[in-house]
């Protein structure tokens, strides 16, 4: 690892200025193998010489830097649950959780359970596992399972969560969430092979959600695995079936199936004000760590999503996507299949942020209404060019958003086969910078990297 000292940082800033990047947030250490050779050379001290690369003055960098496998969530912590005998329910589920012995691992098996109030997970080392043919119903509002701050080593596995009341769909006021992580310093969570269906919130609903509210990197929700779940027949309003939002890092959303929902199926969000904002030169902006990051969205299947049943969209068609990256960074989207949605995939930036280092590869899409990939900021004028734009995510209005940027993305090797779409199979919006898109019908735009205002800079080869 290379330690970034003040002198090395100064040299790095010099080369970045030369290359033409206008924003960069650096960790205290980086892996020398993971950065461009010329940058690595500048970071080394005089005693840490390497063979100088043979370079002409460098051109602009294009495309995403691959998300390192070292950022994938670990699973070694799960071994601590092996051999732990299941604790029978004693009274309510909440009482059973609260009565688990302190500082020990506790496994609770759930069979038939009727809940009227939220179950709070406010201690660590808890595993909730569903018995064969289990069923959990919920007659209340808000969250069914709510994970609080400062907890770790939590497992939700094999639970069948049904939002119907007496077998009938039931809309909740104002919202309903299945498994909901909300707070800071929530670490090592596995949400696996659960079946979540028929959640209907008037204002919003989530099947599985992680909202990181911490202000610092150390206070993130981290090491989160969402794997092999089935979600169907959700009515989520402006919300999403599966979402990571705000200060959430090192996560994966893999091998899930989402069907018959009426808004975005899978979303990675940044810049919404989920974690605290910051003030720069008198302007309120999203916080530096208000971004889902270092994540993997892989091998998921999304089918039959439409907003025609969604009152939040006036029960009309909208530009909702099956898989959406909105303000996140350092994310791999690969091996997914999306069928019969308005847009299959979207990489955008609704708020005053840069969505960056996004790789979209080896995915499939078909039967999309508008197109298979929508990319870029959708509003006229970027927030960097117009200081009067309200960048406070806590006070800005939805109809005055979309001023962000997409930078350093790579789109390649995807099978996008929708025909008769209303827009284009790959639709380019604004402020797509230093991006590689390899797909038939996409032409290079400002491939020298010289782009300003709402212009794009796109290459069509690596």
pLDDT tens across 100-112, in order? 988 899 999 999 9
- Are 97 and 123 contacting, i.e. CB atoms less than 8 angstroms apart? yes
How far apart (Å, rounded) are the C-alpha atoms in residues 402 and 432?
13
- Among 10-14, 64-68, 198-202, 324-328, which is the least confidently predicted range? 10-14
For CA atoms 284, 290, 294, 296, give the dihedral sign.
negative
Residues 51 and 162 in one domain: no
Average pLDDT over residues 16-31: 40
Q: Are residues 338 and 362 in the same domain?
A: yes
Question: Cα–Cα–Cα angle for 220, 254, 309, nearest 5°?
Answer: 95
In a domain, 65, yes or no: no
**86 pLDDT tier (thresholds 50, 70, 90):** very high
pLDDT average, residue stretch 367-385 = 97
Cβ pair 20, 47 in contact under 8 A: no
53: pLDDT strictly greater than 80? no
Global confidence as pTM: 0.88
CB 349 within 8 A of CB 406: yes
Residue 159 has pLDDT above 60, yes or no: yes
DSSP string, 33-67: GGS-HHHHHHHS-TTS--PPP--SSP----SPPPP
Do both 304 and 373 map to the same domain? yes
The pLDDT value recorded for residue 397 is 84
Last residue of a domain, one of 21, 36, 59: 59
Expressed in angstroms, the distance from the first to the final Cα of the chain is: 27
18 pLDDT tier (thresholds 50, 70, 90): very low
Contacts of 454 (CB under 8 A, 6+ apart): 377, 380, 381, 382, 430, 431
Question: 30-44, 78-92, 370-384, 391-405: which range is least confident on average?
Answer: 30-44
Q: How many domains does the chain fold into?
A: 2
β-partners of residue 280 are: 283
The answer to whether residues 87 and 40 belong to one domain is no
Instruction: Output the pLDDT for position 58.
Output: 60
- Boundary-marking domain end, from 30, 59, 88: 59
Instruction: Say whether both 231 and 366 belong to one domain.
Output: yes
Q: Are residues 41 and 79 in the same domain?
A: no
356, β-bridge pairs? 329, 407
Whether the CB-CB separation of 93 and 111 falls below 8 Å is answered with no
CA distance 252 to 93: 28
Find out whether the peptide bond into 11 is cis, omega within 30 degrees of 0.
Answer: no
The chain-wide mean pLDDT, for the chain, equals 90
**Residues 211 and 267 grouped into a single domain:** yes
Q: What is the CATH number of the domain that holds 307?
A: 2.160.20
CA–CA separation, 45 and 146 (whole Å) = 48
Quick check: 349 and 377 in contact, CB under 8 A?
yes
Residue 338 lies in a domain: yes
Q: What is the mean pLDDT of residues 261-271?
A: 98
Whose structure tokens read 């051999």? 83
By three-state DSSP, how is residue 374 classified?
Answer: strand
CA distance 44 to 4: 9
Looking at residue 48, its pLDDT comes to: 42
Interatomic CA distance for residues 11 and 278, integer angstroms: 27
Query: How is residue 97 written in tokens?
Result: 């959780």
Hey, what are 421's tokens? 């779409």
Q: Please state, as a whole number, how many other Cβ atoms lie within 10 Å of the Cβ of residue 15.
A: 16
Band the pLDDT of 88: cuts 50, 70, 90. Answer: confident
- Residue 282 sits in the same domain as residue 396: yes
Split at pLDDT 50, 70, 90, the class of 399 is confident
Same domain, yes or no, for 392 and 310? Answer: yes
pLDDT of res. 15: 36
Q: CB neighbours (10 Å) of residue 110?
A: 20
Q: Is residue 64 part of a domain?
A: no
Looking at the DSSP bridge assignments, the partners of residue 106 are 126
Q: Is 144 found in the same domain as 30?
A: no
28: left (phi over 0), alpha (psi -120 to 50) or beta: alpha
Cα–Cα distance between 195 and 218 in angstroms, integer? 32
Pair 197, 313 in one domain? yes
Last residue of a domain, one of 35, 59, 83: 59
More confident position, 37 or 159: 159
Is residue 260 classed exposed, middle or buried when 0-12, 13-18 and 19+ CB atoms within 10 A define those classes?
Answer: middle
Domain around 321: 70-459
105 phi, psi to nearest 5 deg? -90, 140
Residue 252 CB neighbours (<10 A) = 20
Cβ–Cβ under 8 Å, residues 78 and 155: yes
User: Is residue 38 domain-shared with residue 156, that is, in the same domain?
Assistant: no
Per-residue H/E/C for 160-229: EEECCECCECCCECCEEEEEEEEECCEEEEEEECCEEECCEECCEEEEEEEEECCCCHHHCEEEEEEECC
Task: List the beta bridge partners of residue 128.
Answer: 108, 156
Decide if 249 is inside a domain: yes
């Amino acid at each position: 690892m290379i330690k970034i000292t003040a002198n090395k940082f100064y040299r790095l800033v010099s080369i970045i200025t030369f290359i033409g990047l206008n924003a960069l947030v650096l960790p205290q250490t980086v892996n020398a193998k993971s950065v461009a050779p010329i940058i690595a050379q500048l970071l080394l001290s005089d005693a840490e010489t390497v063979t100088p690369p043979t370079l002409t003055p460098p051109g602009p960098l294009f495309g995403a830097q691959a998300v390192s496998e070292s950022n994938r969530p670990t699973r070694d912590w799960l071994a601590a649950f092996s051999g732990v005998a299941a604790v029978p329910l004693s009274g309510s589920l909440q009482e059973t959780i609260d009565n688990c012995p302190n500082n020990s691992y506790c496994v609770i098996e759930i069979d038939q359970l009727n809940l009227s109030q939220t179950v709070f997970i406010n201690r660590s080392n808890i595993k909730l596992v569903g018995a064969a043919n289990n069923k959990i119903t919920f007659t209340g509002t808000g969250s069914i399972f709510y994970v609080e701050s400062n907890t770790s080593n939590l497992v939700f596995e094999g639970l069948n969560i049904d939002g119907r009341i007496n077998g009938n769909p039931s809309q909740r006021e104002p919202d309903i969430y299945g498994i909901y992580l909300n707070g800071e310093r929530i670490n090592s969570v596995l949400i696996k092979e659960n079946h979540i269906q028929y959640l209907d919130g008037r204002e919003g609903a989530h099947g599985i959600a992680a909202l990181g509210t911490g202000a610092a990197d150390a206070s993130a929700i981290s090491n989160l695995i969402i794997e092999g779940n089935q979600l169907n027949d959700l009515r989520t309003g402006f919300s999403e079936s599966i979402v990571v939002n705000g200060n959430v890092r090192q996560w994966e959303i893999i091998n899930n199936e989402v069907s018959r929902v009426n808004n975005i199926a899978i979303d990675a969000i940044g810049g919404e004000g989920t974690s605290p904002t910051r003030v720069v030169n008198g302007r309120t902006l999203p916080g530096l760590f208000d971004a889902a990051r270092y994540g993997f969205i892989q091998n998921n299947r999304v089918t039959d999503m439409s907003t025609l049943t969604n009152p939040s969209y006036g029960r009309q068609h909208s530009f909702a996507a099956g898989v959406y990256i909105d303000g996140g960074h350092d994310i791999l989207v690969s091996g997914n299949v999306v069928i019969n949605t308005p847009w299959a995939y979207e990489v955008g930036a609704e708020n005053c942020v840069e969505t960056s280092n996004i790789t979209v590869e080896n995915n499939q899409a078909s039967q999309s209404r508008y197109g298979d990939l929508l990319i870029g900021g959708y509003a006229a004028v970027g927030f960097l060019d117009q200081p009067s734009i309200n960048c406070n995510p806590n006070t800005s209005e939805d109809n005055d958003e979309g001023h962000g940027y997409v930078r350093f993305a790579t789109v390649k090797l995807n099978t996008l086969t929708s025909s008769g779409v209303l827009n284009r199979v790959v639709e380019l919006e604004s402020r797509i910078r230093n991006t590689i898109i390899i797909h038939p019908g996409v032409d290079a735009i400002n491939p020298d990297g010289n782009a300003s205002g709402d212009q794009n800079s796109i290459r069509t080869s690596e």
